[in-house]
Chain A
Amino acid sequence: MFKATVIVKRRPKILDPAGKAVEQGAKLLGFNNVRKTRIGKYIEFLVDTNDKNIAEKEVREYSEKLLSNPIMEDFEYTLEEVK
């Protein structure tokens, strides 16, 4: 069994209105050094196999086909064996 964590981020050139709004909040709180706030998604799940190659393939395809939209997002993942 593997535990997968996937982080989906907006591509750098894509506008992130939510990130911009949150950064306005940061300014209001006095965090004047905060720059370039970007909001993404963190997704975790288990992959029920003992074969790391199969697990990797499934995580990658799941991320490409559903968890992210390649037009506006990039993803990265980690896999960790769990018992």
Chain B
Amino acid sequence: MKLKFGVVVFPGSNCDHDAYFAVKKVLGYQAEFLWHKEKDLKGSDVIILPGGFSYGDYLRTGAIARFSPIMDSVHKFAEDGGIVIGICNGFQILLELGLLPGVMLKNDSLKFVCKDVYLRVENHDNIFTKSVTQKVLKIPVAHGEGNYFTDESILKELEANKQILFRYVSPDGKVENEFNPNGSLNNIAGIINKKKNVMGLMPHPERCCDPLLGNTDGALLFKSVAENLFK
């Protein structure tokens, strides 16, 4: 049976079609859109919360989307061990929902940043990066509020539990300020929860899956999930 991705659509999502296209048309898995007012996850094996500006980013990024009816089902799905991927605004929603710890502040440059960045894969002991052998991935970011912040005790916990999955690095994998696009604490670009079934990342893997675009590093993450989910 082919793996099925459910892509949640909020008012203001704008990477939902990119995610759908990447997993279905490029990678050949099943995919279905899930409207935010519904509660049915339609038998999805993996839920993607896509990027965009859900509810206009009013109040705080992700703050209103987390109360959408579909999020009750996503929350329960995640608590039961279901695989959830939050990309960019989707990551911000997971933080507001409390499925992942921390908050996003405005980029330290105060500018929206849209460019390719390099990510070092910090560990492989999870479904999202288990099959990824490349040490550094090139994946684009596009956000105004991706400056990850959390207090010291949570940061220590994240480090100790190996929950930090990606850091912004130089092309050869060095953690340096210069390669941090938004001021994120310790160059954090992506994290997972303790149970290792929920991932949030600011960069957009769905934007670099199609070989036509000249970069397929993003596909490695979706493929890793697919290869390891039913094992």
Tell me if A71 is interfacial: C-beta within 8 Å of chain B. Answer: yes
B75 at the binding interface (Cβ < 8 Å): no
Neighbour of A66 across the interface among B67, B108, B150, B183, CB < 8 A: B67
- A-chain residues with CB within 8 Å of residue B183 when the two chains form the complex: 15, 17
B29 interfacial by beta-carbon distance below 8 Å: no
Whether A17 contacts B150 by the Cβ 8 Å rule is no
Residue from B64, B102, B108 in contact with A71 in the complex, judged by beta carbons closer than 8 Å: B102
Say yes or no: is A54 at the interface (Cβ < 8 Å to chain B).
no
Q: Is the CB of A72 within 8 A of B105?
A: yes
Which residues on the B side are within 8 Å of A67 (C-beta)? 59
Most buried by A among B64, B105, B108: B105
A21 beta carbon closer than 8 Å to chain B? yes
| B interface, size bucket | 10 to 19
Residues from chain A with a CB closer than 8 A to the CB of B150 are 71
Q: A69-B96, A71-B102, A71-B103 are in contact. Are A15 and B149 (CB under 8 A)?
A: yes
Q: Which residues A1-16 have CB closer than 8 A to chain B? A: 14-15
Chain A CB within 8 A of B131 CB: no
Minimum CB–CB distance from A73 to chain B (whole Å) comes to 8
How far, in angstroms, from A71 to B147 measured CA to CA in the complex?
Answer: 14
- A54 vs B108: C-alpha distance when bound (angstroms): 41
CA of A15 to CA of B149, assembled, Å: 9
| CB-based nearest B residue for A17 | B106
C-alpha spacing A18/B145, complex, angstroms = 12
Show 26 residue pairs from A and B whose CB-CB distance is below 8 angstroms, ordered by the A residue: A14-B105, A14-B149, A15-B105, A15-B147, A15-B149, A15-B183, A17-B106, A17-B107, A17-B108, A17-B110, A17-B183, A18-B106, A18-B110, A21-B110, A66-B59, A66-B63, A66-B67, A67-B59, A69-B60, A69-B63, A69-B96, A69-B103, A71-B102, A71-B103, A71-B150, A71-B151
